[in-house]
Amino acid sequence: MAKATSGTVNPHSRTGVRIVVAGDQGTGKSSLIITAAAENFPVNVPPVLPPTRLPEDLYPDRVPITIIDTSSRAEDSDKVAEELQRADTVVLTYACDRPETLENLSIFWLPHLRKLEVKVPVIVVGCKLDLRDENQQVSLEQVMSPIMQQFREIETCIECSASRHIQVPEVFYYAQKAVLHPTAPLFDQESQTLKPRCVRALKRIFILCDHDRDGALSDAELNDFQVKCFNAPLQPSEIVGVKKVVQEKLSEGVNERGLTLTGFLFLHALFIEKGRLETTWTVLRKFGYNDDIKLADDLIPPIKRAPDQSVELTNEAIEFLRAIFDAFDSDGDGMLRPREIEELFSTAPESPWTGIPYEDAAEKNAFGGLSLEAFLSEWALMTLLNPTFSVENLIYIGYPGDPSSAIRVTRRRRMDRKKQHSDRNVLQCFVFGPRKAGKSALLNSFIGRPYSESYNPTTEDHYAVNVVDISMENKKYLVLREIPEDGVRKLLSNKESLASCDIAVFVHDRSDESSWRTSSELLVEIASHGEDTGFEVPCLIVAAKDDLDSFPMAIQESTRVSQDMGVEAPIPISVKLGDFNSLFRKIVTAADHPHLSIPETEAGRSRKQYHRLINRSLMAVSVGAAVVVVGLAAYRVYAARKNASG
């Protein structure tokens, strides 16, 4: 497990490493570069070197290195800043015989990199080691430790002498290594522990290699792992040696079945502490991880779809998730508690349902637990909003099939309207309405939250998802997306904004005439946008707060608007009283039959009448032309017969 192969053709996605060398004037930047490239100390050094390429086979990773020298003149500061911002890694130099150049690293250069937002590894290099005062007994570690504590971006510190050829190749080896095998994503230098994302990735790799699922890597499994990662088997004595190293430091790292997860993680921490980061990076990359310790993009299938198509999980993926739910429901109570959900996602970089929009989108019990339906609802929402992210997380938690078999792209909505039926299992409903109309209360009630009199204005889109039973055999996942009143203009600035909407609901406070007026104006606005863009959607009107008296003329006004626009009369509900009048079922039913409940504006009607007139005129012209053609043909036949008889 400890042997990483060398001399292989570039195993990295990078095609080259760009190293920018900067520092005070006279610290030996150019001499360092020339000596590394030509293996000779230069007699005459130009002020600034052109870009210098090191031989590809100089270092084991065989990744080409380009070194950029920089000017120390004040008038060239903009050019230097530009080069630093393009760097893959930065080498900062100081002169060992001039302490003020070392001080200037923390006074100027390192703060300057932060100001430029240069977020790459930094290698600090003490040049002119041969000129340092022999009476100076302070070690490099003593000198650099305070600076490294303050500037965590420093990856390595090294001293060298170009004139004496001391540690010159090592400078650029460490610089390249800092890019190809960076410490920062893997290891926390302060706590001397593996970082959480690294632990989670290694845990997933351990589980994938533990073929018999007994919680330990046997000798055979360890050997398979070694061959997969390093293309070379371990000798029996080497396996014994690996386990012995672990057991001496960590008794729980090895048991009678083999190397445990604890031991596996300990080994990688040990490699990193000893500077052998390439070992851990080789393992991560063999299992598809990129430099951010996330799955590489090419492992996740591309998803092609039109704006009015959505993505859903297949039955195969849902059955896998049912099995996962049962496996992690450790107490068998039919609920996944927060700690069980965290354990389920412990092989993903992070739990995907932390924060907006997923954290508060599904129904939870008093302990924050998810039922199976709520668990599947969260997955339905994630797949709808971000299908690539959903597939990625399926892979993280162990989906065994081809990732592309986990999802399906639905039929286009215009085809659904033509066929007068939707084939979707997940339906998205946009909820519009003015402030204090009861939109948030409606969403909260949908996911089982108690009614509250307090008002908290919604400033961002808010989601709620749950299962709606249409019949014993017909269940749909319904996603409610609350659009704040202030967010409507932004939504409609995008021509395709309604393409992802299966149905729109317009909520108003039935006791407030201004609430009704705003809601009906929103209905006209959304309907007009749908007519203009070709993404018309079914619409329903909801009269909320049915426990309050309606405003005068409410029935007449709502009847007039409903009839004028060709939609159903408002559906009265009271969240406070828990009376929903089968609203969610009505929403799903209307979305399931997308050719109905589509509102029509006056402008839309006029446009349709105009198109009908044009079509009729074209029909009349085409019929007239056909008559002329038929008449002409008949005349030709008659004339031909007459000539023949003559």
State the chain's mean pLDDT as an integer.
Answer: 91
Pairing of strands 216-217, 258-260: antiparallel
CATH 3.30.530.20 given to domain 193-298: no
Please give the Cα distance from 557 to 473 (Å, whole number).
39
Q: In sequence order, what DSSP letters do the residues of 159-222 get, joined into one string?
A: E-BTTTTBSHHHHHHHHHHHHHS-STTTEETTTTEE-HHHHHHHHHHHHHH-TT-SSEE-HHHH
| Band (617; pLDDT cuts 50, 70, 90) | low
pTM: 0.85
The CA distance from 220 to 202, in Å, is 19
Which carries the bigger pLDDT value, residue 24 or residue 135? Answer: 24
Element of type H or E holding 122? strand 122-127
pLDDT (0 to 100) of residue 613: 61
- pLDDT of res. 629: 58
Residue that the structure tokens 């005062």 belong to: 133
Over the stretch 23-32, which tens digit does the pLDDT of each residue have?
999 999 999 9
As a whole number of Å, the end-to-end CA separation of the chain is: 106
Quick one: 413-600 is in which CATH superfamily? P-loop containing nucleotide triphosphate hydrolases (3.40.50.300)
Q: SS3 of 158, please?
A: strand
193-298 and 309-346+354-409: same fold? yes
CA separation for the pair 334, 505 (Å, rounded):
33
- The band of 68, judged by pLDDT with boundaries at 50, 70 and 90, is very high
3-state class (DSSP) for residue 504? strand
- Counting Cβ atoms within 10 Å, is residue 274 exposed (0-12), middle (13-18) or buried (19+)? exposed
Alpha carbon separation from 198 to 269, 276, 292 (Å, rounded): 10, 15, 9
Query: How far apart are the C-alpha atoms of 532 and 513, rounded to whole Å?
Result: 29
The mean pLDDT value for 362-386 works out to 97
Enumerate the domain spans of the chain. 17-180, 193-298, 309-346+354-409, 413-600, 609-638
Higher pLDDT, 2 or 78: 78
Per CATH, domain 17-180 is 3.40.50.720: no
pLDDT attached to residue 320: 98
**Which range, of 110-119, 125-134, 359-368, averages the lowest pLDDT?**
125-134
pLDDT digits (tens, 9 = 90+) for 162-208: 999 999 999 999 999 999 999 989 998 888 899 999 999 999 999 99
Task: Please state which of the ranges 126-140, 253-267, 321-335 shows the lowest mean pLDDT.
Answer: 126-140
Tokens 């309606």 — which residue? 550
pLDDT of residue 6: 39
Residue 68 CA to residue 18 CA, distance in Å, equals 7
Which pLDDT score, from 0 to 100, does residue 621 have? 57
CATH of domain 309-346+354-409: 1.10.238.10
- The residue with greater pLDDT, 410 or 455, is 410
Residue 8 is predicted with a pLDDT of: 39
More confident residue, 256 or 636: 256
What local confidence, expressed as pLDDT, does residue 61 receive?
A: 87
